Amino acid sequence: MALITKIREKSGIAAGAIAISLILFLIGSDLFQGRSSFFGGSKDVVGEIGGEKIKYQDFQSKVEEISQQYTQQSGRGPSEQELSMIRDQVWNQYVLDFAYGKEYEALGLAVSPEELVDMVQGNNIHPSVRQQFSNPQTGQFDKNYVIQFLKNFKTLPASQQQAWVNFEKSLSQDRLRSKYENLLKLSTYTTNVEAQKEYNAQTAKASVRYLYVPFYSMPDSSIAVTDNQLADYLNAHKEMFKGQDTRSIQYVTFPIIPSKLDTASFYNDLKRLAKELAVAKNDSAFAMMNSDIKTPYYATLAEIPEDVKGQLGNMTPGGIYGPFKNGMSYSIYKYGGIQKDSLYTIRASHILVNAPKGASDSVRATARKRAESILAQIKGGASFEAMAQQFGSDGTAQQGGDLGYFKNNGGMVKPFENAVFGFSGTGLLPSIVETDFGFHVVKVTEAKTNTRYKLAAINRTISPSQSTMDEVLRKADAFAADNQSKAEFEASLKKDKSLLMLRADKILEGSTSFNNLQNAREIVRWAFDDERSIGDVSKVFQNDNQYIVALLTASTDAENVKIDDFREELTAGVRADLKAEKITEKLAGISGTLEQIAQKYGAGALVETANDITLAQGVLTSAGADPTALGKAFGLKVGKRSKPFKGEGGVFIMETIKSTPAPAIADLTIYKNSAKMLAAQRTSFYINEAIKENAKIVDNRAKFY
């Protein structure tokens, strides 16, 4: 399944088209459940696919069309992240039309109108249709909802009708891709020889003794590596070092933080508000009008911050309390007493032993016994939290089973809710609780209460004043103006130790962020500008709560791979080869048993034994799953010793002391089917890669967005 997922990620172009159609169709079109089910060459050429040039005007027109439909149906414009996704889907649609489309046409593949009807309301419903038209009570697909929707189709707004048309188009494209892939999957096969090879790799066993000298036993400093050696290694391993268009930068940040004057002014303002809140006739309205962050006037324990909760016992009606700090925000409260609610709030933890509804009686019985055993251990003094981390089978396990606060309003399944709210006080429930999910060991950590607290809260966030922001901007501007070269930039950093310099290496052209900087697209576009040169210093960029000045330090070119692009990796490869030569040369001059050779070699040489290893899953003690060493182990005759040879992590001398061939087998069907299934699973990925390579796709979107 993991391989299938990976393949789908690599080749999900049609799935992406369906996703964007769902965005436009599902928002606002849920007529039956009252809810939305989505919460998601030339200078004017955006790209080229299969020889077809895509003009910026055409591309942007499609993006704007979909964005307008999104706005009409969702009531808001797409966020930057959603807009990026829309651009991706428009691009993928072009890939489908210009790259995949030609392949479908050449084979005569099509989806008939009758086939489309079958996918929407027939016997072979498409998963995307099933997802939308489900019964809210049962969660199961209901064809009647589809029929009702289509009957009302002409009464829908034009934008929603168009969205459905686009959605149906994406269903056809997904079906076409499935047909194409299935057709090619039929061409995969596994021979008897391949099946026998797979069987042997999994079943044949060998036991070996070997001398191993790992590369790490020889200091890197003892191996000198030259640029000529790096160049030779790069030329010999070009397939391992594929080029990319990247940029590397250094950048200085100028944080925009409140000054001392800002802080003093903020505290004075907070004191003034506290006095006014104390005498306000409508304290809740006054607090709401003067808060940066709104909080409810009637609050349950679940809604009250921990540090405030701890002071509730000392509060008297009419009193002003605070300020309480939370990050850069401060809160003051006017306490107004308590009020009883119709619902109770409680806090509890649980340990779920999973045994879902529908599991066999034996599975449920085993789960019950395990839960009862856990309960008994906790009653005997074991830590509930530790047991939850060890035995819990849901997402709360790592939090010691903590479920947080919840109310008796149906948020929990009924048996669980009844058991927890039927318990008085705090502590461990005496019996396990059975639900459709399995068996729960439960501890109430805060007793149920229907008390709500009247808290008029003024929440204010301290922020820099405009004058402070202007002063920081002035400093950033001065730095950028005074340091227009790499030498000046670096000299200023050495001179002024208060400046914070960071670096970002090998940023990709389409990146929107790097390091911890989000929304950094403007900086990336600056670095990739065609007129930019190494050593250029940027203008001042504003990024959230800081100003940034960047220095372009390096670039790589996908079409011109240089040593410096992969210096670290190349150095490691050359160094390993040179170490292997030195180790092999030294070992070749030593004779005797493996132990004698190791002793004469000196520090770093290990002699180990590995018993009953297989070629498919063999692991050596210190060297791990070294494929070269494993291959040598199965290639040697029993009693024979190899010459020193280089593995992935060191040099070996190997002796095979026992060999157990795979037993004769009459039927290789299992191994043949397994190999065939793996080959079929890879087909989607290979198809996608082949089509993209054949289409010679050039993606220039990063130059426009």
pLDDT digits 0-9 by tens, 33-86: 333 333 334 678 999 999 999 999 999 999 998 888 788 777 788 888 788 889
pLDDT at 173: 86
The share of the chain scoring above pLDDT 90, in percent, equals 56
- Mean pLDDT, to the nearest integer, of 286-308? 88
Question: Helix, strand, coil: what percent of the chain each, to 5?
Answer: 50, 20, 30
* CA dist list (Å): 85 to 20, 337, 616, 640: 8, 49, 41, 61
- Mean pLDDT, to the nearest integer, of 628-648? 95
- Mean pLDDT, to the nearest integer, of 330-343? 92
* CA dist list (Å): 385 to 302, 439, 441, 486: 21, 17, 11, 55
- Beta-strand ranges (E) seen in 355-465 are 402-407, 427-428, 433-435, 438-461
Taking residue 284's Cβ as centre, other Cβ atoms within 10 Å add up to: 17
Identify the bridge partners of residue 345 per DSSP, sorted by sequence position.
Answer: 407, 449
Of 483, 475, 476, 473, give the one whose Cα is nearest residue 537: 483
Domain 205-223+566-660 -> CATH class = alpha beta
In angstroms, the CA 207 to CA 630 distance is 11
pLDDT at 11: 42
Query: Band of the pLDDT at 22, cuts 50, 70, 90?
Result: low
Domain topology for 258-463:
Chitinase A; domain 3 (3.10.50)
User: Does the pLDDT of residue 7 top 60, yes or no?
Assistant: no
pLDDT at 136: 65
pLDDT at 359: 80
Query: Band of the pLDDT at 341, cuts 50, 70, 90?
Result: confident
pLDDT at 361: 84
- Mean pLDDT, to the nearest integer, of 252-276? 94
User: Does the pLDDT of residue 184 top 90, yes or no?
Assistant: no
In angstroms, the CA 421 to CA 433 distance is 12
pLDDT at 411: 84
- Mean pLDDT, to the nearest integer, of 523-535? 94
- Mean pLDDT, to the nearest integer, of 676-688? 82
- Mean pLDDT, to the nearest integer, of 362-374? 90
Cα–chain center distance at 163? 29
CA dihedral 369, 371, 373, 374 (to 10 degrees): 170
In angstroms, the CA 197 to CA 666 distance is 14
In angstroms, the CA 680 to CA 686 distance is 10
Query: Band of the pLDDT at 23, cuts 50, 70, 90?
Result: very low
Please give the radius of gyration of the chain, using alpha carbons only, rounded to the nearest integer.
Answer: 34
Taking residue 667's Cβ as centre, other Cβ atoms within 10 Å add up to: 8
What letters, b where the CB count within 10 A reaches 16 and e where it falls short, cover 135-169? eeeeeebbeebbeebeeeeeebeebbeebbebbbb
DSSP code, position 620? B
Taking residue 404's Cβ as centre, other Cβ atoms within 10 Å add up to: 11
pLDDT at 96: 86
What letters, b where the CB count within 10 A reaches 16 and e where it falls short, cover 84-103? bbbbebbbbbbbbebbbbbb
User: Does the pLDDT of residue 143 top 90, yes or no?
Assistant: no
Query: Band of the pLDDT at 236, cuts 50, 70, 90?
Result: very high
* SS3 category, 517: strand
Q: Which residues contact 176 (CB under 8 A, 6 or more apart)?
A: 14, 100, 104, 109, 110, 111
User: Does the pLDDT of residue 677 top 90, yes or no?
Assistant: no
In angstroms, the CA 566 to CA 242 distance is 10
The share of the chain scoring above pLDDT 70, in percent, equals 93
- Asked if residue 653 lies in contact with residue 643, where contact means CB atoms within 8 angstroms, the answer is yes
Average pLDDT, the chain: 88
* CA dist list (Å): 492 to 488, 526, 549, 670: 6, 22, 12, 69
In angstroms, the CA 632 to CA 212 distance is 13
Torsion sign across C-alpha atoms 607, 611, 613, 618: negative
pLDDT at 352: 93
